[in-house]
């Protein structure tokens, strides 16, 4: 079964680039331009992993993490952000992120983080 990775980022070029990378690695990729759009879709069908930006208008990445926790949506999250501060990293990791990566993201690091998250998630089942 092909794993489905959700990309949640308000930058359309970044979403497209990540989508190509993730599909080339053998995963399905679903792209969402906002946290609200992702949460709406996740209420109907959960992905296997989420690649999440922190800085988005409206529902930001921290909000997404909080709402996922409130609704017990147990999906591994990889944060990829240009909003890099020690406080943001600590908050994202405390919120359950499996990895915290900085933009511009190293493609190999991102794919390895996704794979590790998926393997760790399957081990818990």
Instruction: Identify the pLDDT of residue 122.
Output: 57
Model's pTM, two decimal places? 0.95
Domain contains 117 = yes
Contact call for residues 99 and 69 (beta carbons, < 8 A) = no
Q: How does DSSP classify residue 98?
A: S
Residue 89 lies inside a defined structural domain of this protein: no
Decide if 36 is inside a domain: yes
Phi-psi region at 96: left, alpha or beta (left = phi > 0; alpha = psi -120 to 50): left
Helix (DSSP H) and strand (DSSP E) numbers for the chain: 5, 5
Domain membership of residue 17 (yes or no) is yes
pLDDT in tens, the chain (125 residues): 589 999 999 999 999 999 999 999 999 999 999 999 999 999 999 999 999 999 999 999 999 999 999 999 999 999 999 989 999 999 999 999 999 999 999 999 999 999 999 987 655 54
Q: Give the number of domains in the chain.
A: 1
Nearest residue to 36 via CA among 1, 70, 8, 7: 8
List the CATH number of the domain containing 30.
3.40.50.2300
| Residue 107: inside a domain | yes
Structural domain boundaries enclosing 62 = 4-84+100-123
pLDDT attached to residue 124: 55
Domain membership flag for residue 95? no
Residue 92 lies in a domain: no
Asked whether residue 53 is assigned to any structural domain, the reply reads yes
């Amino acid at each position: 079964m092909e794993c489905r990775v959700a990309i949640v980022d308000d930058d359309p070029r970044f979403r497209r680039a990540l989508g190509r990378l993730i599909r080339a690695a053998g995963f399905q990729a679903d792209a969402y331009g906002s946290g609200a759009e992702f949460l709406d879709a996740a209420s109907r069908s959960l992905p296997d992993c989420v690649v999440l930006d922190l800085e988005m208008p409206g529902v930001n990445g921290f909000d997404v993490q909080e709402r996922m926790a409130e609704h017990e949506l147990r999906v591994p999250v990889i944060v990829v952000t240009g909003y890099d501060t020690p406080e943001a990293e600590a908050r994202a990791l405390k919120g359950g992120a499996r990895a915290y990566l900085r933009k511009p993201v190293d493609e190999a690091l991102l794919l390895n983080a996704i794979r590790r998250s998926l393997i760790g998630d399957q081990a818990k089942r």
